[in-house]
Amino acid sequence: MKINKIVKVLLICFLLPLIVKAQQSKGIEDRAFWIETLTRIADPVLTNLSQNTLKKNMPYESLATDRQKFSYLEAVGRLICGIAPWLELGPDNTDEGNLRAKYIALTVKGLENAVDPEACDYLLFAEPSQALVDAAFMAQGLLRAPKQLWGNLDAKGKEHMITELKRSRVIKAYNNNWLLFASTIEAALLEFTGECDMQRLTYGINKFRNDWYKGDAIYGDGASFHMDYYNSYVIHPMLTEVLFVMKKHHINGADFLDIQLKRHARYAEILERFISPEGTFPVVGRSIAYRFGAFHALGMACLMHNLPVSVKPAQVRCALTAVIHRQLKSVSNFDKNGWLRVGFTGDQIDISESYINTGSLYLCSVGLLPLGLPPTDEFWSAPFTEWTNLKAWNGERVYADHAWSE
């Protein structure tokens, strides 16, 4: 009996490192999994939109009964925002490049339908108030793929897109993160036409810069602080995106970009520390049904190569891969036709708010922004790297975290 116990202990000591090593996937495997995840999420939306059947076939699930008319632009705008960096890599002669070519074609055709007043899937851009939000996510996606999306729209498609983005100006933004939706739309108009409404472009930027910063890279959502992920869903990504456009076009106030990039990097550092050894993260705050979209700001920091020195790109890849695996392990995340269900790790509609519906959920795609980095980038090419919480809970060397001050 004693010999058997000794043998078992020896086997465990020998096999455990092999088991752990087997669980440490390589970057090429992680990338394949991310692409499979993104295309699975995108397929129903883009296939139907390209065929003018989105309104016909997209289901509507929500605690509210009166928001279905907004849900289609929500799905499209949010998905475009997330998939754009990957599409911007363009087609090539690899399997992945051929797959991108397919989705570029679907997306461009779908966008042309979305802004064509004669199309069955013509979407609402000027309907108060929700349309402002998702016109902005679409605008942000176009800024992230100027060659493959904006550049491949035909002349009529570009004309229609500009018309629809301008029509959203009739919607007054609330005095909170919504100001950045107006700013983002104007940034896209400035980038693609050379003109914009300067007041709408800069007002929100100045409010966050001058009035709503709380410290340690955290902004209030308006004057008040909210314990949620809106600094990641909206605030940091849109502030940074708009400021890049302002700097490119020499707009007064663009000097804030230098400070904002440092704040963005620190907030990315915080987000990385939110990911547990098991690939979970705190279920706190509104809009938690956006799933791994909660890591929008972290993914964007990777995409921009704007991580702090304390965070290695590969540790973010490994941490986010664990999150995505954990969050999508339930088959009930999708319905029988492949559409996302309202929930956090499955079909959990009670975790949502009344403004959440099927279309809203596609903001999860922004958690996959690092797919816009080529496979040769360190994010993908470096070997498995433990993230902060995995090291800390394993008793390994981890440096103290300190609030950041300017």
CATH number of the domain encompassing residue 99: 1.50.10
**Domain total of the chain:** 1
Question: The domain containing residue 328 runs over which residues?
Answer: 26-393
Is 293 a member of any domain?
Answer: yes
Is 132 a member of any domain?
Answer: yes
Of the chain, the end-to-end C-alpha distance in Å amounts to 64
Question: Which residue stretches of 62-154 are H helix?
Answer: 68-88, 95-114, 130-144
Half-sphere exposure of 153 (CA within 13 A, CB side): 21
The overall average pLDDT reported for the chain is: 95
Q: How confident is the model at residue 4 (pLDDT cuts 50, 70, 90)?
A: low
Is 84 a member of any domain?
Answer: yes
Is 19 a member of any domain?
Answer: no
What are 83-104's pLDDT values in tens digits?
Answer: 999 999 999 999 999 999 999 9
Instruction: Work out the angle between the directed axes of helices 236-248 and 198-210 (0-180°, nearest 10).
Output: 130
pLDDT greater than 70 at residue 225: yes
Is 103 a member of any domain?
Answer: yes
Q: If you search the block for the tokens 């043998």, which residue do you land on?
A: 7
Q: How confident is the model at residue 13 (pLDDT cuts 50, 70, 90)?
A: very low
Is 209 a member of any domain?
Answer: yes
Is 148 a member of any domain?
Answer: yes
What are 277-304's pLDDT values in tens digits?
Answer: 999 999 999 999 999 999 999 999 999 9
Contact 289, 367 (CB under 8 A): no
pTM (2 decimals)?
Answer: 0.94
**What percentage of the chain exceeds 70 in pLDDT?**
94
For residue 62, the 8-state DSSP code is: B
Is 21 a member of any domain?
Answer: no
Q: What's the mean pLDDT in 179-204?
A: 98
Residue 211, both tokens = 């009035």
Taking Cα atoms as reference points, which of 227, 215, 272 lies closest to residue 389? 272
Q: What's the mean pLDDT in 63-85?
A: 98
